[in-house]
Homo-oligomer: A and B are copies of this chain.
Amino acid sequence: MRFQQKLSAIQKKNNSLVCVGLDQGEFEFDKKIIEKTHDLVCAYKPNFSFYEARGETGWRDLKLTAEYLRKNYPEVVTIADAKRADIGNSNQGYVKAIFDELKFDAVTVHPYLGREAVLPFLERADKGIFVLCRTSNPGAGEFQDLKVGSAAGSGQKPLWQAVTEGVRDDWNENGNVMLVAGATYPEELKKIREVVGEMTLLVPGVGAQGGDVAKTVKAGVNSRGAGMIVNSSRGIIFADDPRTAAEKLRDEINSFR
């Protein structure tokens, strides 16, 4: 099944746009979070950094988490938050690890090297590729806000918008490419939504990072009140009661769709 179909099905079934960011890097921890939240979310997004911190043991845990999800909750989407991008065939190892060995449904990638560099990801038509566009960190604007034009002319729009338009027009031949746009920048999120039409956006930054749920949802949903995956990591996994936190976020998001 293609990524978009799987995502739409689980978003409908669980009536949820919530993605839980697995930012602890331990299978036993992940398992508890998953057991408490799987019917309230559309996706889980392990951030590879936390697993790699523990080397080969961490990789084993990452694989256990991916397998556990696939075996027990195969309808729920899995996003490898690996933020990779190498050039050309040097990506093949990442592609193999993430899609063939760990069997994730989707991955996050950096745009800086261009479409031609990350073709080995884009060519996996059954998988979802989320391109970092407007990130949620305070200093995101250093390069992303630079005004740019074509290679020939002077600039009129921010770099993040050029990435948005480039991905929309040139990267998405297989209909599997989407964007990452931080909830901490609702105005940019709104503009990205205008530029991409119905495309799905992965939106981190609500909760601990300070993104406002109402503003985020109003800015980010597409014409069908969907087209978003709203990620919360620390706000759910480190909550006293992760289930209640996930449910609260799901319901809050739904109230603004």
Contacts and interface: CB of A to CB of B under 8 A. Distances in A.
A137 B87 contact: yes
A150 interface: yes
B87 A113 contact: no
B154 A142 contact: no
Contacts of A155: 146-149, 154-155
A162 to B, nearest CB: 6
A191 to B, nearest CB: 15
Nearest to A153: B147
Contacts of A101: 53, 55
Count copies of this chain in the complex: 2
A151 B93 CA distance: 36
A86 interface: yes
A112 B150 contact: no
Contacts of A147: 148-155
A136 B113 CA distance: 9
A172 interface: no
Interface centre among A50, A102, A148 (most CB of B within 10 A): A148
B116 A143 contact: no
A132 interface: yes
A174 to B, nearest CB: 17
B87 A114 contact: no
Contact of A117 (B55, B88, B139): B139
Interface in A118-170: 132, 135-156, 158-159, 162-163, 166
A49 B145 CA distance: 30
A151 B156 contact: no
Interface stretch (A12-20, A34-42, A56-64, A217-225): A56-64
Interface string A52-76: 1111111110010000000000000
Contact of A144 (B63, B83, B112, B141): B112
Given A49-B93, A145-B151, 7 more contacts: A49-B86, A53-B94, A116-B138, A116-B142, A146-B159, A147-B148, A154-B156
6 contacts: A25-B93, A53-B101, A83-B85, A116-B139, A117-B139, A148-B155
Interface of A: 23, 25, 47-60, 63, 83-88, 90-94, 96-97, 101-102, 110-117, 132, 135-156, 158-159, 162-163, 166
